[in-house]
Each structure stands twice: as structure tokens, then as C-alpha cells.
Structure 1
Amino acid sequence: MAVDQVHRFFFSGFSYQCRLVQCPAPSTEPIVVIGGAFQNMYSYRRLEGPWAQTAPVISVELPGSGNADQLPATYGFDFLADALTDLLDRLGLDRVNLFAVSYGVPVAYRLAQRDPGRLARLALLGAASVYPPEGLAGLRAMVDALASGDADGYARRSVETLMAPADRTVRNRAAVTRVLARDMAAITGPDFERHLASTRRVMDWPGLPDGGVSGIPTLCFTGEHDTLTRPDLGREAAATIDGSFFTLIRDTDHLPALERRHEVGELLLRWFTDQPLDDLDFLTPLEQPTRPLPAGVA
């Protein structure tokens, strides 16, 4: 069994850390994982077994996440992209596969813009060009409940914001709802400030930066019933990445890695090892969105 190695570093006065699972005989570039706003470097452990048979897996807690140092909301995603670059440099990783989830997407996108040669392949779960008004309203309700010390209200608002309405078909809905509500209601002490800062950082995010991304094979995907990073906004995000693919995980919402974890694990394993995806029956047909031409360009 592979042994976890935890590395802790400092960047611009803030600590951060990662968990490294070695692979004795890698067949693809190392896989780096950046989780969502309320996740840590163990959140994808149940998915990573097959990945670790093909490459080293590095799960990251950037400043403001997990047990890394608190990061005020005034520090944006560009700072986190700088911290991620620092991590890759410290580990001597010249070229990696990068998987980013929701909150991690702006970090990965900025790195891809700045240093595309660093990324062999990119996978973005829960990407959006911007957050929709109804999603921002849900995040505001979460912040208000948390700021008032209403842990149960925060848990309830989190479920309402992150999961699809009850009339949508979502795999393992009851179990995921219980886990999400339990975890959000249980936060205490430093976690309050961490959750508040992370959510405010998302709310202040202006959307994907101009310029797009090119030169990196990229897969963008989310749940077909995602109401936070809606499929139409995911397509818009994918359209800013030259040659990217876009698809949806059937019967899921913003949390497909919880609702259909085996399927998400298989999808990413195939993507990072250049295997075909078009025979996976849990996906909608693969699309290749394109950016509209500027006015006056034929």
C-alpha cells in the first residue's frame, strides 16, 4: 500500500500543504488535485486509488483551505495560483495533470494562462464563466447564516445552494444530503473564518479573466442538474479554452464526485491516460464549444 507523505511549505507568509501518494511505475504525468472551497487534501482519497496506480497523486491545501493558514478574503485567486506555482517548483514538478474542482477552477485557469507548458492535461469540474445571480444569492445566504453563528441554518443553506431541487434526479441524494448537512453544521472555531473567507472570495470573483487558454488538452464537466455552476455557464467557460471538451455527469448536480464517485474517478483516469470517453454511458455526448468570433470578423 502506498504511504502518504505530507509536505508543508510557506508562501508570502502563509503556510500551505499537500499530501503526496507515490507511484512506483508511473505511466502519465503526476496528478495534482485542487478541491472545492470547503474541502481538504483528503476529500478525494476515495477516488484516487486507480489514479495512484498510473501516476503520483498530489492533493493540495492552498492557503485558506483545510489545515493551511487562514487567508483573508482580500487575497484573490491570482494569489492562490502563485502559491500553486510555488508548490510545483518546490516539488520539482515541471509538467503535471491538473484536476480542479469549483473553487479550485479559477486557480487552475490562471495557472493555465500564465504557464501552459506546465500542464500536460487539465480537468475542470464545476467551471463557470461567472457565478449566476441565484447562485450568488445562495452563497450570500450561507454567509449570513454563518456570520450570525447559525450552524444549522448554514448547513441548510449549503444544501439548498450546492444541491439540485428535489424534483431533479440525483444519485445518492439522501446520503449526500446527510453528509453535507452534517459536515457544514459541525464546523467550529477557525473553520468559521475559513468558510467565511472562502465564500466571500468566491462572491467577489469577477469571472474568468480575459484571454482564454490554449495549448492544453482540457476536459470541462459538471452535473447535469448543477444550479450553482450551471451547464450553460460551463459551456461558456469551456469555449474560452481552445479545443476543450465539455460534458455532463448524468443524475448529479454540483457534487458529482460525491454522488457518482466511481464514475468521476473512471472519467478522470481515462482523461489523464488518453483513453476514449465516448463509450461512458454516464456522460452526455461530448461537445467542443467554440468562442463566438468578434464583431466584424468573418
Structure 2
Amino acid sequence: MSTLAGFTTADLNVPWRGAHFPCRLVTPHAPYRAAPLLILGGGFQDRYSWGRLERRLGHLHPMIIPDLPPAHPPVGPHLTWADLTEAAIAAADHARFDVFAALGGSSGYPIAYRLAQQHPGRITHVLLFGASPRPSPALTALITRSMRRPGSHTRTGLPDAAVGPQPRVTGPRQRAGHHEDAANSLVDILTNARAGRDILPIRAAARLLRNQLAAAAEDPLARYVADRGRLLLDAPLPDGRITGIPCLVGVGEHDTVTTIDDNRAVAATIDNAVFTIVADADHLLYLEQDAEFAGIVTRFLTPTPCPRTAAAQ
């Protein structure tokens, strides 16, 4: 447990299906008016990835940030979107959040969307960032290629003949080079290098992600596919709609992996959704424009009419 300016953080273990997964709990010191916030990050985000949002909003909003189990672990049953939605509810229950807002970013958005559909009485608001009805063609191709690598066919159902010859990765030097190549493949698809040439925060966030993935102890592409990547091929946007819950859909103006049109398509399935485009941001908008991102979140959760609006009523 640690105490920072205006809030306290603690790591907890959430019991689920006979095992546990970790989560981070943020608790404001002062009384709060807004509903608690459940944060569901994407493939490379864990409970420590949201530090900038914590520092900006931790004194205002209780938060729970779970590290949900991987969808396709090396051993054990494979999980579906429904399973991950159940795990997310278990995290909220463990934090004693009876009602809460759900924020889903990137591959966390399908879980937040399903929470709103399945538990409308518990969800006060939904905020979706970097949402798409389906993965982009480039990301789909990268995930599919990774699923065909040796060691992956037993999890994907692909026969050995479909795998074909692949380079072997042996010693530390080869492994480091392999991880760097995998990191470059992912970052090149998940970020907009062209926009990054002109916009420093986009370039800096992409470099941060690249360095983080290249330095990882495990193959970053294999981890991405096992965590959520492969699951993205299976209907991330569910059938039906979200009704009766205030919803916001946001996207960076330079996002090429979940484009503005992709996010508009998701917003169109939500009654009365608010749609916002974040300037000078790409897919990692919570890092690239963290102040604006935090402002969007807190304004949506605690709306305050401006004086002109109040005077006109």
C-alpha cells in the first residue's frame, strides 16, 4: 500500500474460479461525488500502466484496475469475452463497487461494452477509447501469422503443415533480436509513425512502448496474441446495443489501428453516445495527451453545466 497526494493505492488479489488475479485499488482521501471507475486496459496495459491517470484523478475517483487473466494461457482453459466480462465483475465486487463507471481502452472496450449490456443496473457510465467492430486488416494479418508460428499451432488448431519452416530462436542474443523484431512489428501497426514525425507526444509514446516490449522477458507478439490478440478475431463488438446508459466513445485524430470511422461505427450501436476526437493523439492517447484524456474522463463522469447553459435554462 502507498499513500500519494490525495489518494491511497493498494494491490489486491481477486479470487476467481479457484484462482486469483491481481488488481490495483485507488482510494481518494476526501469524500467523492463521482461513481467509482473500473479501468479495463488493452493488450499491453497492466494495473501499473495508468499512473498518469491516477495522479490526475486519484483524488477524485475511486478506481479499480485489474490484470485480467490471459484469454489463451499456455495451460488451462481458453477464455472468451464472456469469461473476461465475468472476471471484470469479480474485480468490481472484490472492491465493493456496487455501481461504477466502466472505462475500456483498445481490447478492453469489448469487455466494458458487454458489462453495460449484461449489468445495466450497476453501470453508471461507459467510456470507450480506441474501439473498432473488428481488428484492422494489418493487425489481423499479424495476429494470424503469429498463430501459425511453431508452438502456437496446438493452441490454434492449425495443423503442422500449415506452420511451415520458421527461424529458430536459441541464445540470449538471438532472443533479444527476435523480441526487438516482434516489438517493431507490433508498434509499427499499433502507432502512426507518420503523425509521430510531427507530434512529439505521439513519437515519445511509441518509443516508450517499443522499448518496453523489446526489453520484455517473453516474446511480446506471443504475449499479445495469447492475452487478447487472438480473441480480437472473435466478435469484439457483440450483437445488440447499449441503451439507457450514458456512453462516450473517444479516439485520437491520428489513430490508424482503430480509426475515427471504426470508433464512429461502435458509437452508432449505442443510444445517444457522445463522440469525441482527441487532437494530436494516436492510439495511445492516455499517454500522448494524458491531461486532455483525464479531463474528458472527469468531465463526463461529473458533468457541470457552464454558466451560459445554466443562465439559458
**Is the pair's TM-score, using the shorter chain for normalization, greater than 0.5?**
yes
In structure 2, the partner of 1:161 is: 189
**Alpha carbons of structure 1 residues 26 and 70: separation in structure 2 relative to 1, 3 Å:** farther
Which runs of no fewer than 5 residues in structure 2 stay unpaired? 153-166, 170-177, 307-313
Within a 5 Å distance, the mapping from 1:68-107 to structure 2 comes to: 74-107=78-111
Q: 1:214 aligns with which of 226, 232, 243?
A: 243
**Alpha carbons of structure 1 residues 252 and 167: separation in structure 2 relative to 1, 3 Å:** closer
Q: Distance in 1 between matches of 2:232 and 2:111?
A: 15
Within a 5 Å distance, the mapping from 1:235-254 to structure 2 comes to: 235-254=264-283
Write the letter of the residue equivalent to 1:235: R
In structure 2, the partner of 1:152 is: 180
Q: Distance in 2 between matches of 1:193 and 1:3?
A: 34
Write the letter of the residue equivalent to 1:45: G
The TM-score with structure 2 as length reference comes to: 0.79
Within a 5 Å distance, the mapping from 1:14-163 to structure 2 comes to: 14-23=19-28, 24-64=30-70, 74-140=78-144, 150-163=178-191
Aligned residues, how many? 274
SS at match of 1:53: coil
Deviation at 1:272, TM superposition (A): 1.3
Within a 5 Å distance, the mapping from 1:204-283 to structure 2 comes to: 204-275=233-304
Write the letter of the residue equivalent to 1:6: D
Deviation at 1:25, TM superposition (A): 0.9
The TM-score with structure 1 as length reference comes to: 0.83
Is residue 183–residue 221 contact of structure 2 (8 Å, CA) maintained in 1? no
Identity of aligned residues (%): 31
Deviation at 1:202, TM superposition (A): 3.5
Which runs of no fewer than 5 residues in structure 1 stay unpaired? 278-298
Q: Distance in 1 between matches of 2:225 and 2:77?
A: 8
**Alpha carbons of structure 1 residues 256 and 167: separation in structure 2 relative to 1, 3 Å:** closer
Which structure has the larger Rg?
2
Is residue 127–residue 229 contact of structure 1 (8 Å, CA) maintained in 2? yes
**Alpha carbons of structure 1 residues 159 and 143: separation in structure 2 relative to 1, 3 Å:** farther
In structure 1, the partner of 2:158 is: none
Q: Distance in 2 between matches of 1:113 and 1:71?
A: 30
Deviation at 1:50, TM superposition (A): 3.1
Deviation at 1:78, TM superposition (A): 1.1
Q: Distance in 2 between matches of 1:188 and 1:276?
A: 49
Deviation at 1:254, TM superposition (A): 1.0
SS at match of 2:34: coil
Q: Distance in 2 between matches of 1:80 and 1:244?
A: 24
